[in-house]
Amino acid sequence: MTPTPDNTELARGRLSLLGVLTQSIGFMGPVFSIAALLPLVVGLSATGRGAGVAAPAAILIAAVGVAGVGWIISQYAKRIHQCGSLYDYVTRSAGPRLGLVGGWLYYGAMLVLAAATFLLLGGLTQDLLHNVLSVDVPWWPLSLGYVAIVIAVLVIGVQISIRSQLALALISMAVVFAFSLRIILAGGQGGDSLSATPFNPLAVGGLDLLYGVLYGINMFIGFESAANLAEETANPKRHIPRAVLLSLIVAGAFYVVTAYSQAVGFGLDAEAWKNSVFPLQALASGDEFGSPLFGDFVSVLVILDILAVAIGVGVAVTRGMFSMAREGRLPKALAVVHNRYRTPARAAVLLGVVSIGAIVVVVMGDGLFSRSTGEPGVLQPQWAPMFGWMAGFGGTGLALMYLVVSAAGVRGLWGQVSRGKLLVAAAAGVTVAAGAVFGAFYQAASPTDTIPWALLVWIALGTLWSYVALRRPAGPVETEASVAQAAPAGD
């Protein structure tokens, strides 16, 4: 007789290298990052500082730093093949209490980040329908519709989730990449703007370049999320480490090419680039390289890419909560998989409840935070202030976890990998993660200036919860696929 699968066991061996690579790229949302985060690298930020025309150089430097975190995570991924990802890595290196608090921080930040994407999806879709079709639909029913779609995809199966991300992210990336090549091959603005200046870190002041690097780090957040699919991968020891590092290479190359195309597309004019606010849409809608119709099409692609982000974050956070619950670190009810699809359906439902709750709070509280702008009588969209706060909370929480993983990796991997490589990678990881946290906090305007306190409260709650959870017997953590700290894998 075929044995009945355990109700706390995910479907195993269904994903290839391409599948887990898609998870990391989908989480990062390269097109969304180019549309919304690249302007911060250029200088459209609360500090008013950025890398300007040298944004491609800043992205390259950020990528090198993030690669240090990536190398440490890839070494852990060779040895630990569970869906808890960074939570498992910290637990094995620094003990169950720090591991639990780290997982609480990491997946709590992801949960908030996932809910934030639905606010953005509803708001951008509302704008698109109004601008293109002159149809006025409130943002919140659209957001609820996106919640229903994503939760259904998460429950039906990881293969559906990955295929959805692959289609959404691949189409949007391919079009934006082709458009970027068109700008470059045309010689940039006026046909004579091609230059090596964007790759020269000395083209701007050192402090300006530093801020560009700090904001550039945020464009790579989520690269490690392939590790959450370790239990559902055919060959986790081989596929997960490769996916983690390949995602950095693929996204990094995409960012550099598209950033360079924008630099020359604006004629190496940093002020014009920054002041365009949404440079990708500005170039796509302009007559020199695009058209208003193509600009609308790019707006659709950005929405599709954010939908891929929502799915990617959902895949990662549901697997993470499932793993912690299975080991007794979160309520056991979250450790049960769907009988048919073998997915963490209860964790997916929790994600849906939190997301719907966020939408209701924003609607009932008319944005909750102040919607005022610098112009009298002009208000931000109802969803915008809360989205900014939640995205800041989520991104900063993940950056904090990168810092913890990089520091804990020195102890956890000592004696198992090259010590020289480990120290260099850990130093790079701690530096870029600390820089990303600093960039999120420094000169933050209201309401994002409350994020540090919210994170401290969340970490304190996780610490208190650890004294409750660690009194209970832990669930099974050693499985055939979990061979942490056994024979060292090659470095």
Position 236 scores a pLDDT of 92
Position 4 scores a pLDDT of 46
* Global confidence as pTM: 0.92
Dihedrals phi, psi of 486, to nearest 5 degrees: -85, -135
Residue-range domains of the chain with CATH: 17-367+384-469 (1.20.1740.10)
Residues pairing with 432 in the sheet: none
Position 138 scores a pLDDT of 97
Spatial contact of 103 and 329, defined as CB atoms under 8 Å apart? yes
Tell me the C-alpha distance between 427 and 417, whole Å.
15
Residues pairing with 80 in the sheet: 482
Burial of 365 (0-12, 13-18, 19+ CB in 10 A): exposed
User: Under 8 Å CB-to-CB from 36, ≥6 apart: which residues?
Assistant: 278
Position 475 scores a pLDDT of 58
Residues pairing with 233 in the sheet: 15
Position 192 scores a pLDDT of 80
Q: Look-up: residue for tokens 């690669």?
A: 67
User: Under 8 Å CB-to-CB from 128, ≥6 apart: which residues?
Assistant: 296, 299, 300, 303
Spatial contact of 255 and 33, defined as CB atoms under 8 Å apart? yes
Phi-psi region of 476 (alpha: psi -120 to 50; beta: other; left: phi over 0): beta
Tell me the C-alpha distance between 187 and 71, whole Å.
37
CA distances from 275 to 30, 44, 56, 143, 282 (A): 21, 7, 18, 29, 10
Position 394 scores a pLDDT of 94
Tell me the C-alpha distance between 386 and 394, whole Å.
12
CA distances from 274 to 46, 265, 304 (A): 13, 12, 24
User: Quick one: which of 305, 409, 424 has its CA closest to 64?
Assistant: 424
pLDDT in tens, the chain (491 residues): 344 456 777 877 678 899 999 999 999 999 999 999 999 999 987 777 899 999 999 999 999 999 999 999 999 999 999 888 899 999 999 999 999 999 999 999 999 999 999 999 999 999 999 999 999 999 999 999 999 999 999 999 888 888 888 889 889 999 999 999 999 999 999 888 899 999 999 989 888 898 899 889 999 999 999 999 999 898 999 999 999 999 999 999 999 999 999 999 999 999 999 988 899 999 999 999 999 999 999 999 999 999 999 999 999 999 999 999 999 999 999 999 988 888 999 999 999 999 999 999 999 999 998 888 777 878 899 999 999 999 999 999 999 999 999 999 999 999 999 999 999 999 999 998 998 888 888 778 888 889 999 999 999 999 999 999 998 766 554 433 333 333 344 44
CA distances from 256 to 63, 171, 219 (A): 10, 19, 11
